[in-house]
Structure 1
Amino acid sequence: MKRFRVFSTMLISASLMTLAACGGEDTTTTAGSTPSATTASSAAASASSAPSASTGTTAAMSDKELCEAVEKAGNEMRPALAAAMQSALQSGEEPSPVVFKEILTGLEQKITKAVPAGANSEAATAVKRFAAEAAKAAAAKNPVDASENPAFEKAGADITAACKAAGVTVNF
């Protein structure tokens, strides 16, 4: 069973690293560095406590603007996620549930703030659904396992499709 978990973790890690590499406009690089789980934890904590540029959004926000805000939140989350996965792979241990809880909670908070009050477009609905799934995964005993469920994956695919229709490429 342990062998399967390690293989599963490595496969998920490779997938997430690929998605992180496809992020696009992320200008920060960490070439040559190997961040620890502590770094990932502090990065996730600072990301979730940082004020969002999307705070105070209004219903006049377009789907494109919403998707751009969601893309920004995803791009801000990816370095902490990549660092956590890299740390787990290097140590040969299971990923830390605490770190993933912080990452998912920060992502959920940021994308929830991005949705204007009363918004009910396809993109807004997809973002709300994904935020709810991220919150459920973060609240689970093991956020890694909880984020591997079909509802979470479908919510991510729905955001990707809705934002693509709005002219913004996101990968969740």
Structure 2
Amino acid sequence: MLALAACGGEQPSKTAPPTLPATTSVADAPAAAATASAVAADPASEKKLCEAAKKIGDESKAALVQAVTSGGDATAVMKKAYTDMAKGMADTAATAGPGSAVAPVLIAFGTEVGKAAEDVAAADSPALEKAGKDVNAACKKAGVAINF
């Protein structure tokens, strides 16, 4: 923009305020709005993220129920289920598009689930409960009923 003004050969009036900053601000405003719109998450993508998270959760819950009812080593199965769930949440979040509201909550939930994989007592932590509620809320907005 400055290069074009310099080539114009006209001197700005000493009494008129410079117009370059105003022009730049006005010109940048639509571009900023377009960028913000482009960064907004695609609702269909958000729904797919939540559907994937729900599937991961359902599979982990089924593995836990099977371990408990079969009389196997529930602690080992819980650790594996939590490990798989944490990895699944991270992998799912990695597929999110720009501006996703779901991806950050999946990452936070996966992080807390990963802690439970290391120490099963962490499965009852307030942080995991909050992260689960955050996923539930974000996915509800995306049209997917999920219960973590």
> What is the aligned partner in structure 2 of residue 125 from structure 1?
104
Residue 135 of structure 1: SS of its match in structure 2? helix
> What is the aligned partner in structure 2 of residue 66 from structure 1?
49
Cα offsets for 1:77-100 (capped at 9, x unmatched):
221111123345xx9xxx632211
Cα offsets for 1:132-171 (capped at 9, x unmatched):
001111112xx1x210010001111110110000001111
Q: Which runs of 5+ in 2 are unaligned?
A: 1-40
> What is the aligned partner in structure 2 of residue 55 from structure 1?
none
Indicate conservation of the 8 Å contact 2:86/2:110, yes or no.
yes
Distance (Å, rounded) in 2 between the aligned partners of 1:150 and 1:85: 24
Residue 106 of structure 1: SS of its match in structure 2? helix
> What is the aligned partner in structure 1 of residue 123 from structure 2?
147
Q: TM-score, normalised by structure 2?
A: 0.63
Question: How far is the alpha carbon of 1:120 from its aligned partner?
Answer: 4.8
Q: For residues 14-163 of structure 1, what are the structure 2 equivalents within 5 Å? A: 62-87=45-70, 96-115=74-93, 116=95, 119-140=98-119, 143=120, 145-163=121-139
Larger Rg, first or second structure (1 or 2) = 2
The structure with more helix, counted as a fraction of residues: 2
> What is the aligned partner in structure 2 of residue 11 from structure 1?
none
Distance (Å, rounded) in 2 between the aligned partners of 1:120 and 1:139: 31
Q: TM-score, normalised by structure 1?
A: 0.55
Higher-RCO chain (CA-CA 8 Å, sequence separation at least 6): 1
Cα offsets for 1:1-32 (capped at 9, x unmatched):
xxxxxxxxxxxxxxxxxxxxxxxxxxxxxxxx
